[in-house]
């Protein structure tokens, strides 16, 4: 009897564990985390929650067009690169794994039209080498007819409008000029987006309006170039300012290294004098609600073009002219050199200095283009800008023409870690081997949810029908079988959640089939029990003998099913057919649990019932229609 107590305790413990596992949507015990937002916290396959299943095959060929098997390293780096690319798209939680020796599986749950992901995955090269031209001068195209008004001197308080009316200008957008370059840098540094730049300028203007103008900046005496433009030209000039804002922000947020900020070059000429200043963003502004633009004629470090307005007028005389040139800090020109042309990138140290360097090697075509690029770059301030996924990685200068195709990059701030990172990123910019899509399965999320709902409903109805049948036919043992089946189903789901097994449509079918196998085990036992009861044994003996006699059939039947499962699983693994794999795994787990539930749970419950008063009614323990029972209790 002690043995039963232990068994009952074990079963109770399992029921409690199962209840707790299924009761909580998400489980977290130390490092052990399970659960999801799906019903019962189960993991659902793509066919039940919707999503895309993509299988890629590597297509590596030798010079003769013969297929070459990729190496393990190549496959691993392929997986890492695609993992990185897919993750960047932000498409849900992708699963990326290798299948066999030359295939890659990409699963995108919840994505039913993976066009974007497919484009990104399939791109062979996302690494680009560009010619960065530094300080490109572009004259601001303002013809004289578009300039309706121009003036150098104090900031005007009034202006004439088109009808010749005098209009007061209340605000000088440049009234609160920063007095030093540090102050200017502060404004830029605290600006995280363009609203803030404008805000800080506006704030400065407002503060200026409140305080007495005589107390304002040291630059009160400074000359301003004020121009009024027609609508079209104002728009053009606005774009110039916008580009300055963008480049200033990019610099301030540290997005770009060695970045040269856009500036506006203003040349003032008159008499025999020509003076040129380069104005940063902070010294150029549009007067709010007008087509007027003001430029403070000081250099970035706070030096006026002339110490005062009087001096300015003296210097340039009455016939002052001006010229505006936009200086674009950096233009990245596409030269057709990409990751496709790179054959290798690896970290190393400089032969003589021992400093950490990044070695790069190009293929024949790449070497040619790289040679041309280095020739163009040599002896200029221009840079070789390397972009990965349109983000700047590094932009070194060039100090010699390199025609051999192999070069190295050195940098003052290079550490062994940094050069390793850079070389890995360079390698990641190209796929180590070409790939092609060989299989795609997309399932709409609505269809998936519908399939899930229907399968669950069908499973529940099926289980209920079986339990009703068992009770009607086998009576009390049938009732116990019914209880066992419900426990079986919940144990199965618990195991699915804990492992975790990803539930697919074929997995649901396998689970339902394994319910059938569990019922079969019970039926085998009850039929044997019935035979024993008929031959006149007591209920308890019949239960024990029935179980022992049924065991070989249950064992052999289930083992042969397990053999089929193992073979299926093995084939599915080499095939990459995850639906087959899910089916085999689910069926195997189901068969194992059904063996346990039929043998241990059913038997223990039956024995318990056999000790109760109800056990006197042996006719309740045999199937209907079996009349000839000898009375063993009388």
Partner 1 sequence: MNIAAKRGWCFLISAILLIPGIVFLIIAPGLNPGIDFTGGSTMTVKFADPTEQQAIRTSLESLNVSDATVQNFGENTFFIRTKELSESEKDDLLSKLENDVSPNGYDVLSFDIVSPLVAQETIVAAFWALFAASIGIFFYVWWAFRNIPKPFRYGTAAIIALLHDAGVIIGIFAILGVVADVEVNTMFLIALLTVIGYSVNDTIVVFDRVRENIISAPNRSLEANVNLSIGETIGRSINTSLTLLLTLMALMLFGGPTLKSFLLVLIIGVLVGTYSSIAVATQIVVAWEKQDFPKIFSKITRRRLPASE
- Whole-angstrom distance, CA of residue 578 vs CA of residue 498: 20
Report how far residue 87's alpha carbon sits from residue 287's, in angstroms, rounded to the nearest whole number: 45
560 scored as a contact of partner 1 (CB under 8 A): yes
10 Å Cβ neighbour count for 189?
13
The smaller minimum CB distance to partner 1, of residues 35 and 51, is found at: 51
Binding piece for partner 1, criterion CB under 8 A, among 278-286, 299-307, 312-320, 513-521: 513-521
Phi, psi at 61, each rounded to 5°: -130, 150
Residue 571 within binding range of partner 1, rule CB under 8 A: yes
For strand 43-44 and strand 502-503, is the pairing parallel, antiparallel, or unpaired?
Answer: parallel
The nearer residue to partner 1, 22 or 513, going by C-beta atoms, is 513
Binding residue for partner 1 (CB under 8 A) from 483, 575, 614, 624? 575
221 binds partner 1 (CB under 8 A): no
Interface residue with partner 1 among 260, 494, 558, 602 (CB under 8 A) is 558
How many whole angstroms separate alpha carbon 313 and alpha carbon 154?
11
Binding residue for partner 1 (CB under 8 A) from 75, 197, 466, 606? Answer: 466
What's the rounded Cα separation, in Å, for the pair 589 and 570? 15
Asked if 39 is part of the footprint of partner 1 (rule: CB under 8 A), the reply reads no
Q: Which span (27-35, 125-133, 382-390, 468-476) binds partner 1, by CB under 8 A? A: 468-476
Residues 45-74 contacting partner 1, CB under 8 A: 47, 55, 57
CB of 85 to partner 1, least distance (A): 17
Does the protein bind partner 1 through residue 510 (CB under 8 A)? yes
- Binding piece for partner 1, criterion CB under 8 A, among 28-36, 124-132, 308-316, 557-565: 557-565
Could you tell me the smallest distance in angstroms from the CB atom of residue 107 to partner 1?
Answer: 14
User: Residue 302 burial (CB < 10 Å; 0-12/13-18/19+)?
Assistant: middle
533 scored as a contact of partner 1 (CB under 8 A): no
Judged by CB under 8 A, the chain residues 581 through 600 that form the site for partner 1 are: 583, 587
Q: Which of helix, strand or coil describes residue 374?
A: helix
361 binds partner 1 (CB under 8 A): no
Q: Does 123 bind partner 1 (CB under 8 A)?
A: no
Residue 59 burial (CB count, 10 A): 14
| Piece in contact with partner 1 (CB under 8 A), picked from 182-190, 241-249, 409-417, 453-461 | 453-461
List C-alpha distances in Å: 100 to 70, 84, 122, 550, 568.
11, 21, 20, 41, 15
Rounded to a whole number of angstroms, the minimum distance from the CB of residue 96 to partner 1 is 18
The answer to whether 339 touches 429, Cβ cutoff 8 Å, is yes
Q: What distance lies between CA 278 and its chain's CA centroid?
A: 42
Q: Is residue 291 within the footprint of partner 1 (CB under 8 A)? A: no
- The reply to whether 442 sits near partner 1 by the rule CB under 8 A is yes
Pick the piece of the chain touching partner 1 (CB under 8 A) from 125-133, 184-192, 346-354, 576-584.
Answer: 576-584
Asked if 441 is part of the footprint of partner 1 (rule: CB under 8 A), the reply reads: yes
Rounded distance between C-alpha atoms, residue 382 and residue 134, angstroms: 5
Q: Is 492 in the site for partner 1 (CB under 8 A)?
A: no
Could you give the CA distance from residue 442 to residue 46 in angstroms, rounded to a whole number?
A: 8
Yes or no: say if 225 and 150 are a contact pair by the CB < 8 Å rule. Answer: yes
If one counts every other C-beta atom within 10 angstroms of the C-beta of residue 385, the result is 23
Q: By CB under 8 A, is residue 238 in contact with partner 1?
A: no
Only one of the segments 224-232, 237-245, 299-307, 438-446 lies at the binding site for partner 1 (rule: CB under 8 A); that segment is: 438-446
Q: Is residue 519 involved in binding partner 1 (CB under 8 A)? A: yes
117 binds partner 1 (CB under 8 A): no
Closest to partner 1 by CB, 437 vs 614, is 437
Residue 113 neighbours by CB under 8 Å, 6+ apart: 52, 442
Which one, 290 or 564, has the nearer CB to partner 1?
Answer: 564
- Picking from 497, 495, 512, 502, the residue whose alpha carbon sits closest to that of residue 454 is 512
Asked, as a colleague might, if the bond just before 219 is cis with ω within 30 of 0, I would say no
Q: How far is the CB of 455 from partner 1 (least distance, A)?
A: 6
Q: Are 431 and 79 in contact (CB under 8 A)?
A: no
From the list 159, 579, 592, 629, which residue makes contact with partner 1 (rule: CB under 8 A)? 579
CB of 443 to partner 1, least distance (A): 5
- Please report which helix (H) or strand (E) contains residue 561, including its range: helix 539-575
**Least distance in angstroms from the C-beta of 512 to partner 1:** 6
Look at the block and give the residue holding tokens 């399992």: 14
Nearer to partner 1, 428 or 554 (CB): 554
Q: CB-based contacts of 566: which residues, under 8 Å, 6+ apart?
A: 584, 588
Binding residue count for partner 1, defined by CB under 8 A: 73
Please say whether the beta carbons of 427 and 404 come within 8 A. Answer: no
Query: Smallest distance from the beta carbon of 338 to partner 1, in angstroms?
Result: 22
Q: Is 465 in the site for partner 1 (CB under 8 A)?
A: yes
**Alpha helix (H) residue ranges in 343-396:** 364-377
* Nearest Cα residue to 529 out of 551, 556, 507, 504: 551
Using the structure block, give the residue that is written with the tokens 């895309």: 52
Strands 103-109 and 51-58: antiparallel
Part in contact with partner 1 (CB under 8 A); list of ranges 200-208, 240-248, 435-443, 608-616: 435-443
Q: Footprint of partner 1 on residues 95-114 (CB under 8 A)? A: 112-113
470 contacts partner 1 (rule: CB under 8 A): yes
> Torsion over CA of 572, 36, 495 and 604, rounded to 10 degrees?
-150
Q: Site map for partner 1, 241-280, x if CB under 8 A?
A: ----------------------------------------
Q: Which is nearer to partner 1, 110 or 411 (CB)?
A: 110
Residue with tokens 């030359």: 102
Binding residue for partner 1, selected from 88, 333, 444, 619, defined by CB under 8 A: 444
Which of the ranges 75-83, 176-184, 384-392, 556-564 carries the binding residues for partner 1, by CB under 8 A? 556-564
Q: How far is the CB of 577 from partner 1 (least distance, A)?
A: 6
Asked whether the beta carbons of 188 and 251 are under 8 A apart, the reply is yes
């Amino acid at each position: 009897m002690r043995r039963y107590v232990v068994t009952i305790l074990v079963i109770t413990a399992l029921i409690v564990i199962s209840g707790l596992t299924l009761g909580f949507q998400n489980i977290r015990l130390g490092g052990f985390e399970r659960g999801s937002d799906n019903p019962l916290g189960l993991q659902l396959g793509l066919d039940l929650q919707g999503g895309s299943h993509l299988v890629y095959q590597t297509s590596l060929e030798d010079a003769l067009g013969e297929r070459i098997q990729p190496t393990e390293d190549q496959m691993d780096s392929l997986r890492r690169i695609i993992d990185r690319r897919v993750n960047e798209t932000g498409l849900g939680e992708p699963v990326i794994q290798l299948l066999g020796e030359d295939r890659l599986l990409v699963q995108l749950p919840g994505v039913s039209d993976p066009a974007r992901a497919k484009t990104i995955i399939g791109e062979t090269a996302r690494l680009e080498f560009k010619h960065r031209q530094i300080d490109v001068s572009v004259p601001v195209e303002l013809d004289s007819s578009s300039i309706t008004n121009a003036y150098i001197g104090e900031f005007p308080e009034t202006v004439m409008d088109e009808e010749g009316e005098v209009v007061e200008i209340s605000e000088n957008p440049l009234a609160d000029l920063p007095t030093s370059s540090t102050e200017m840098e502060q404004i830029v540094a605290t600006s995280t987006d363009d609203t803030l730049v404008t805000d800080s300028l506006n704030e400065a203007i407002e503060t200026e309006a409140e305080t007495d103008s005589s107390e304002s900046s040291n630059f009160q005496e400074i000359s301003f170039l004020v121009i009024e433009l027609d609508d079209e030209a104002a728009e053009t000039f606005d774009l110039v300012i916008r580009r300055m804002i963008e480049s200033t922000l990019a610099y301030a947020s540290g997005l770009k290294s060695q970045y040269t900020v856009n500036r506006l070059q203003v040349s003032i000429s008159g008499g025999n004098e020509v003076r040129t200043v380069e104005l940063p963003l902070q010294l150029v502004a549009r007067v709010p609600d007008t087509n007027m633009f003001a430029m403070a004629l000081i250099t970035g470090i706070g030096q006026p073009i002339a110490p005062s307005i009087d001096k300015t007028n003296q210097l340039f005389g009455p016939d002052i002219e001006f010229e505006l040139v936009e200086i674009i800090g950096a233009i990245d020109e596409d030269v057709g050199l990409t990751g496709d042309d790179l054959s290798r990138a690896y970290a190393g140290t400089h032969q003589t200095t021992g400093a950490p360097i990044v070695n790069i090697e190009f293929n024949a075509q790449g070497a040619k283009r790289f040679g041309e690029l280095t020739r163009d770059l040599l002896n200029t301030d221009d840079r070789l800008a390397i972009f990965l996924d349109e983000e700047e990685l590094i932009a070194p200068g060039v100090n010699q023409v390199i025609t051999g195709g192999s070069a190295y990059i050195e940098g003052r701030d290079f550490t062994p870690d940094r050069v390793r990172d850079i070389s890995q990123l360079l390698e990641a910019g190209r796929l180590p081997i070409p790939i092609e899509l060989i299989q795609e399965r997309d399932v709409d999320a609505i269809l998936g949810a519908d399939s899930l709902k229907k399968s669950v409903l069908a499973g529940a109805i099926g289980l209920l029908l079986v339990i009703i049948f068992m009770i009607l036919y086998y009576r009390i043992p049938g009732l116990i079988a019914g209880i066992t089946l419900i426990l079986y189903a919940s144990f199965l789901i618990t195991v699915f959640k804990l492992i975790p097994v990803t539930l697919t449509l074929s997995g649901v079918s396998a689970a339902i089939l394994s319910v059938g196998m569990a019922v079969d085990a019970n039926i085998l036992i009850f039929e044997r029990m019935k035979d024993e009861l008929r031959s006149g044994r007591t209920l308890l003996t019949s239960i024990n003998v029935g179980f022992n006699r049924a065991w070989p059939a249950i064992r052999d039947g289930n083992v042969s099913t397990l053999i089929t499962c193992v073979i299926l699983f093995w084939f599915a693994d080499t095939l990459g057919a995850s639906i087959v794999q899910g089916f085999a795994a689910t069926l195997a787990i189901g068969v194992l649990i059904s063996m346990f539930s039929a043998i241990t749970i059913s038997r223990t419950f039956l024995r318990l019932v056999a000790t109760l008063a109800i056990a006197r009614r042996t006719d309740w323990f045999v199937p209907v229609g079996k009349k000839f029972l000898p009375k063993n209790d009388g």
